[in-house]
Amino acid sequence: MVLHTALDTPEFAVPEANRIEVDRYPSRMMDIPASRMFEIKEALKQYRQKAGADAPVYDASQGDGGASLPGVPVELLERAFKLQVDHGTGYDKPYGTDLFRQVAAEQYWGLDSATGWGPENILFVQGGRDGLQKAYGAMIALGNQQIGDALVVSRVPWISYNWGPYDVGLNVLRAPGDPAKGWRYTPEGIKACAEFAKQSGRAVAGIVITSPDNPTGRTIPLDEQIMLAKTALENGYPFVLFDWIYHWVSDAGPNNINTVLNAFSAEERERLIFLDGITKSLGASNIRSAHLVAGKQVVKYINSRASHGVIPSFYAQAVAIAAYQMGFDKAAETIISACRESRVVMRELLGQSGVPHILGDGYYAFIDVTRYIEAAGMKDSAEMGAYLGKNFGVTAVPGVYFSDAGKNWMRFSYALPPEKTRAALTRFFEGLNSLL
């Protein structure tokens, strides 16, 4: 028998046994800093104030192909608009629409029916960050079911990998890594993270495997990604998240999800989560269009919570639908080809420079500027970034923004036409060499 509280008395929405326990951990959290990425372009303004409003500047700091390259073709935007008109403006499902699911599963991924995965394993999300936050929540609720566990990331992770998980109650644990090997994961490092977390009184909630990587540009072959994921699962990691948001701009072409799924048992597949979208490969950053591919339990969990949170917009889905129906290699050709051509320029000029660097298949290079920092008596790459921007009109992202392990490195984006990439990197080294 359920006893109802009198209407003149406050009542909780859930029974006492299901209420969240009082915990003051938010009072002990560090303040999450705003991303400093948005500060970088201020240095270019200062340079032009000094050199003149028409002085050429080179922005190699951004990761937005929609700003530095042609971005989404107009015909796709127009096709998406027509889809929107036909679809109407009513609410969609928390997972998106059935049409998006079908097109993504069949025409984009070509999901192998033998894996047991299909359209019902796909969730549309409002951009990569939205997808990641939802994935972190699922890791907590469906894994160890406790706040404060560790999410393993690389030693020099994307800025938001440091803070996005922390915001929802996970402690980010940076794995061991050797800069000479691009700080790549090793089986030994994955095992060490599990042991380190246990010694600190915590468990591991999951690991993020990113390829191509941000910020280093490092690329991990698919067989190595599978090996690392298997190592994580064998060492008690509840989930493995593959962030493939850059994989279409690689020389080797996109990752084959079926190769990964078929390497695991049906039970193990339920512990795999894939993130992809059109923000990078199609230059669609402000369209906020991404999706998760995951086991049905994860999909069910995220879908139910999204019904009370972020319901995805249809137009963002429509742009992806139009691109997938066109054939994504064709739709993203302007971004893919420009990055491929610029990568050739980067390999040429970085090879000639003799400077240590990492250059995989994304659209970033990670450049070691230790020699120049020491020559100038600077503290770290943040000082170097300010110097290059204000005095030479070229910006790149200081590696110290990502972690202390990258404090003497800089991320150089070559999501640019090849002639701009050549001019920007030449100017970059002019600035560095002025310090010797």
Structure tokens at 135: 């994935």
Residue 26: inside a domain, yes or no?
no
Domain end marker among 274, 306, 328: 328
What pLDDT shows up at residue 4? 67
| One domain for residues 322 and 336 | no
pTM over 0.85, yes/no: yes
| One domain for residues 140 and 268 | yes
CATH number at residue 362: 3.90.1150.10
Residue 21: inside a domain, yes or no?
no
* Residues 89 and 83: beta-carbon distance below 8 Å: no
Q: What is the pLDDT of residues 39-96, one digit of tens each?
A: 777 888 889 999 999 999 999 998 888 888 889 999 999 999 999 999 999 999 999 9
Q: What is the DSSP letter of 212?
A: S
End-to-end CA distance of the chain: 82
Domain end marker among 302, 328, 354: 328
Looking at the 3D structure of the chain, how many domains does it have? 2
Contacts of 8 by beta carbon, 8 Å cutoff, 6+ apart: none
| One domain for residues 150 and 164 | yes
Residue 293: inside a domain, yes or no?
yes
Residue 19: inside a domain, yes or no?
no
- Helix, strand, coil proportions of the chain in percent (round to 5)? 50, 15, 40
| One domain for residues 53 and 78 | no
Structure tokens at 221: 């072959």
Mean of pLDDT over the chain: 95
Q: In whole angstroms, what separates CA 299 from the centre of its chain?
A: 20
pLDDT at position 292 over 90: yes
Band of the pLDDT at 3, cuts 50, 70, 90?
low
What pLDDT shows up at residue 1? 47
Q: What is the pLDDT of residues 366-395, one digit of tens each?
A: 999 999 999 999 999 999 999 999 999 999
Enclosing domain of residue 40: 36-63+332-433
Contacts of 220 by beta carbon, 8 Å cutoff, 6+ apart: 184, 185, 209, 211, 213, 228
Which residue stretches of 7-120 are H helix?
A: 25-28, 41-51, 65-68, 74-87, 98-103
Q: What is the pLDDT of residues 81-92, one digit of tens each?
A: 999 999 999 999
Pick the closest to residue 132 from 297, 352, 284, 302 (CA basis): 302
pLDDT, mean of residues 335-339: 95
**The one-letter amino acid at 221:** P
Pick the closest to residue 209 from 236, 252, 239, 164 (CA basis): 239
Q: Which residues of 273-283 are buried (b: 16+ CB within 10 A; e: fewer)?
A: bbbbbbbbbbb
What pLDDT shows up at residue 38? 67
Q: At what angle do helices 74-87 and 314-326 cross, to 10 degrees?
A: 130
| One domain for residues 86 and 182 | yes
Question: In whole angstroms, what is the distance from residue 254 CA to residue 334 CA?
Answer: 16
pLDDT at position 2 over 70: no
Structure tokens at 106: 């069949």
Residue 14: inside a domain, yes or no?
no
| One domain for residues 428 and 315 | no
Q: If DSSP codes are grouped into helix, strand and coil, which group holds residue 361? A: coil
Q: What is the pLDDT of residues 17-47, one digit of tens each?
A: 999 999 999 999 999 988 777 677 788 888 9
Question: In whole angstroms, what is the distance from residue 259 CA to residue 227 CA?
Answer: 12
Domain end marker among 277, 310, 328: 328
Q: In whole angstroms, what separates CA 269 from the centre of its chain?
A: 21
Reading phi first (left if > 0) and then psi (alpha if -120 to 50, else beta), residue 151 is in: beta
| One domain for residues 353 and 374 | yes
Q: If DSSP codes are grouped into helix, strand and coil, which group holds residue 140? A: helix
Q: What is the pLDDT of residues 130-186, one digit of tens each?
A: 999 999 999 999 999 999 999 999 999 999 999 999 999 999 999 999 999 999 999
**DSSP string for 248-313:** GGSTT----HHHHHTTS-HHHHTTEEEEEESTTTT--GGG--EEEEE-HHHHHHHHHHHTTS-PPP
| One domain for residues 355 and 410 | yes
Band of the pLDDT at 361, cuts 50, 70, 90?
confident
pLDDT at position 100 over 90: yes
Side by side, which strands form the sheet with 204-210? Answer: 122-125, 290-294, 272-277, 239-243, 204-210, 150-153, 171-174
* Residues 402 and 157: beta-carbon distance below 8 Å: yes
| One domain for residues 40 and 85 | no
| One domain for residues 324 and 400 | no
CATH number at residue 109: 3.40.640.10
Question: In whole angstroms, what is the distance from residue 354 CA to residue 291 CA?
Answer: 40
Q: If DSSP codes are grouped into helix, strand and coil, which group holds residue 394? A: strand
Q: What is the pLDDT of residues 206-256, one digit of tens each?
A: 999 999 999 999 999 999 999 999 999 999 999 999 999 999 999 988 999
Residue 99: inside a domain, yes or no?
yes
| One domain for residues 268 and 366 | no
pLDDT at position 365 over 70: yes
Residue 9: inside a domain, yes or no?
no
| One domain for residues 168 and 254 | yes
